[in-house]
Structure 1
Amino acid sequence: MTDPHQKLQDALDALDAAFAPHAEPSVPVGGCTHCYTDADLEALAGPVQQVPEDLIYSVAHKTPDHWDDFPGLYRRLTPRIVRLLTADRLDHALVASRLLAADWRNWPAPERTALDRVWQAWWRAALHTHPSTGHIADILEILAVITGTPAPWLAVWAQTRTKASDLHLSDALDRWLIEGELADLHLGFYDELHATPALLPWLLSLEEDRIGAAQLIEVERIAYS
């Protein structure tokens, strides 16, 4: 079986290929001249692979109103943004919200398909390695928000019976159980997705040995209170 991390690299390479038609110089980029210099805007309109990394980082996080054509710019830079994202160098919740604002689910089919393959490969690679590059709860957050549901990602997690997967589960619960957050957990920078209705039943459906006793007591207390 192909190594999950190699599958992720292959998916990222395929993402570059899918977006290649947009990678060459484009029409001028219009944006906030208070935050970006003329040289910045010129660089953003140039070849995607030559855009400085600090500019990619900035565009990935800035609000859409900084740009004359936010969806077009975000779409064009997506392969670079996603590589930084999978390397845990961007804010997962914020990028999830920006991808929704860019309406990524209505992009051309080849681009959506390439992104879906990255999401699948990234999730599996993370579940098979502990510690992973990035906190598992952050990775689940962006995947659930951009696809509109945590259900398929939780299903894969349940089916991944490895030590790494279970250690990730413990890590995620450590975060979700802080101050009872699991009782009303919203994901996304703007709380776009209410995760509790899917997450609580899923946790209770797992085999007994998947969750430690102390954490399970807390999960059950939240579920049945």
Structure 2
Amino acid sequence: MIPDRTETSGLLDEALAGVAVAFQGMTAHEQESNCECHWGSAEELALLKTPDVPLDEELLRRTYWAADWHYPGLLLRRILPQVTERLVDGRIVAMEGLDSLARFFAVSPWHEWPKGQQAALRRFLNVWWVHVLVEPDAKVPAHAALPFLAEATTRLTPWLADWAEALVDEPARRHLVEAMDEWMYDLQGDALPWPSSHDIDAWAPALQLWVIRHAPAVLREHDASAELIEDISRFSLPDSARYDKPLSRWRAGRPWPE
């Protein structure tokens, strides 16, 4: 059940505190290394092996951007308290970090961590997603948060189910309208609207079906064109019937100027 908006701020504070406690004292592996020429200095690497010392923004970003760590799971645990705070305040944004962070989650075997750490992380991700959906001032749009969550957890449909439940709130409906701006071009081509290393063949149809079920009513409420809504209805048609007449202005992926 999606919490009431008035509860979300307190729940998010509790989830952040839970992450800080669960991952207190974590360090990189003592044998972890990286190229000084391309990643950073020995002094910076030593900071990752020192518990609970805050990392500056540049070092934090380079840590989850790098794809060649030997022990990424330990590094993720080291930086999670700062990473979760920055997800909330919007300092990790789409195309400048969320994609890299999702890949970092994907290569870190966090589902094998101690149960208390897994629970703290899962609770944060769940509460943060609700915050994104229902808080008018959330710093990350839902169409950017969803790919991160799907890639980081290798699951898509639970996050979509939460969004559907949250559509009683205006911010979640507005997020859906914004998402259609970003997604329509790819979905019309039966493609997932973000790069993925997971189950693309299943996720793209699942997202199309979710859009068919939930987007038309919301788009009508926001005065979307009949052509756009018709294009969405075509997702359920076979290719032979889908393009029997020209697509609307969304064919190019963005609305044409009026």
TM-score by length of 1: 0.87
- Which of 62, 66, 70 matches 1:62? 66
- Alignment match, 1:74: 76
- Alignment match, 1:219: 232
Deviation for aligned residue 1:54: 1.8
Deviation for aligned residue 1:37: 0.9
Question: 2: distance between equivalents of 1:109 and 1:187?
Answer: 31
Going from structure 1 to structure 2, the CA distance change for 1:191 and 1:200 (only over 3 Å counts) comes to same
Instruction: Check whether the contact 1:28–1:41 (CA below 8 A) recurs between aligned residues.
Output: no
1:134-178 residue CA offsets vs partner (Å, 9 max, x unmatched)? 121110111112222221111111111111111010001110013
Q: Secondary structure at the match of 2:53?
A: helix
- Which of 108, 111, 114 matches 2:117? 111
- Alignment match, 1:20: 24
Going from structure 1 to structure 2, the CA distance change for 1:29 and 1:165 (only over 3 Å counts) comes to same
- Which of 146, 155, 179 matches 1:149? 155
Letter in 2 for 1:117: R
Query: Tell me, which stretches of 5 or more residues in structure 1 are unaligned?
Result: none
Instruction: Check whether the contact 1:60–1:98 (CA below 8 A) recurs between aligned residues.
Output: yes
Task: After TM superposition, list the pairs within 5 Å mapping 1:156-167 onto structure 2.
Answer: 156-160=162-166, 161-167=168-174
Letter in 2 for 1:216: I
Are residues 1:133 and 2:139 paired?
Answer: yes
Going from structure 1 to structure 2, the CA distance change for 1:136 and 1:207 (only over 3 Å counts) comes to closer
Question: 2: distance between equivalents of 1:89 and 1:181?
Answer: 31
Instruction: Check whether the contact 1:145–1:193 (CA below 8 A) recurs between aligned residues.
Output: no
Q: Secondary structure at the match of 1:175?
A: helix
Question: 1: distance between equivalents of 2:235 and 2:215?
Answer: 18
Are residues 1:47 and 2:54 paired?
Answer: no
- Which of 125, 128, 136 matches 1:122? 128
Letter in 2 for 1:81: V
Question: 2: distance between equivalents of 1:26 and 1:100?
Answer: 18
Question: 2: distance between equivalents of 1:168 and 1:105?
Answer: 29
Letter in 2 for 1:101: V
Deviation for aligned residue 1:49: 3.3
Deviation for aligned residue 1:193: 4.2
> What is the root-mean-square deviation in Å for CA atoms of aligned residues?
2.3
Going from structure 1 to structure 2, the CA distance change for 1:68 and 1:155 (only over 3 Å counts) comes to closer
Q: How many matched pairs?
A: 221
Instruction: Check whether the contact 1:182–1:222 (CA below 8 A) recurs between aligned residues.
Output: no
Deviation for aligned residue 1:3: 2.6
Letter in 1 for 2:233: E
Q: Which has the higher helix share?
A: 1
1:26-77 residue CA offsets vs partner (Å, 9 max, x unmatched)? 73642222121121112221233333232111101111x1x34332222222
Going from structure 1 to structure 2, the CA distance change for 1:81 and 1:181 (only over 3 Å counts) comes to farther
Question: 1: distance between equivalents of 2:18 and 2:147?
Answer: 23
TM-score by length of 2: 0.76
Q: Secondary structure at the match of 1:3?
A: helix
Letter in 2 for 1:55: L
Instruction: Check whether the contact 1:29–1:44 (CA below 8 A) recurs between aligned residues.
Output: no
Instruction: Check whether the contact 2:24–2:51 (CA below 8 A) recurs between aligned residues.
Output: no
